[in-house]
Amino acid sequence: MKINTEIIDTYLMEKNLKKISNNKIFSLIENGKILFEAPPEESYQKIKNTYNLFKNIIFSFKPCNYNIWKNIFEISDNTDNSFIIFPIIGAPSPYEAMIRYDENGNTLMIFDIYLLGKNIDNLPKLKENISLLITHELAHYYIHQRFQYPQKIENQLKYLFFDEGFAHFLSYSNNIEQINWNEKKYIKKREYSYEMLKEKLKNKLDKNLLIKGITANNYWDKYIAISGMFAIIDFWHSNNKKLDSLKLLYKKGPEYLWNFWEINYLTKT
pLDDT at residue 168 greater than cutoff 70? yes
Dist. CA 21–CA 150, nearest whole Å: 32
Per-residue confidence at 54, pLDDT binned at 50, 70, 90?
very high
Per-residue confidence at 49, pLDDT binned at 50, 70, 90?
very high
Dist. CA 256–CA 122, nearest whole Å: 40
Per-residue confidence at 188, pLDDT binned at 50, 70, 90?
very high
pLDDT digits (tens, 9 = 90+) for 215-224: 877 899 999 9
pLDDT of residue 77: 62
**CB-based contact 257:165 (threshold 8 Å):** yes
pLDDT of residue 215: 85
pLDDT of residue 138: 94
pLDDT of residue 80: 65
pLDDT of residue 1: 73
pLDDT of residue 79: 57
Q: Could you give the 3-state DSSP secondary structure of residue 54?
A: helix
Q: pTM of the entire structure?
A: 0.92
2-3/97-101 β-pairing: unpaired
pLDDT digits (tens, 9 = 90+) for 109-166: 999 999 999 988 899 999 999 999 999 999 999 999 999 999 999 999 999 999 999 9
Dist. CA 267–CA 109, nearest whole Å: 38
End-to-end CA distance of the chain: 46
Q: Could you give the 3-state DSSP secondary structure of residue 106?
A: coil
Phi-psi region of 136 (alpha: psi -120 to 50; beta: other; left: phi over 0): alpha
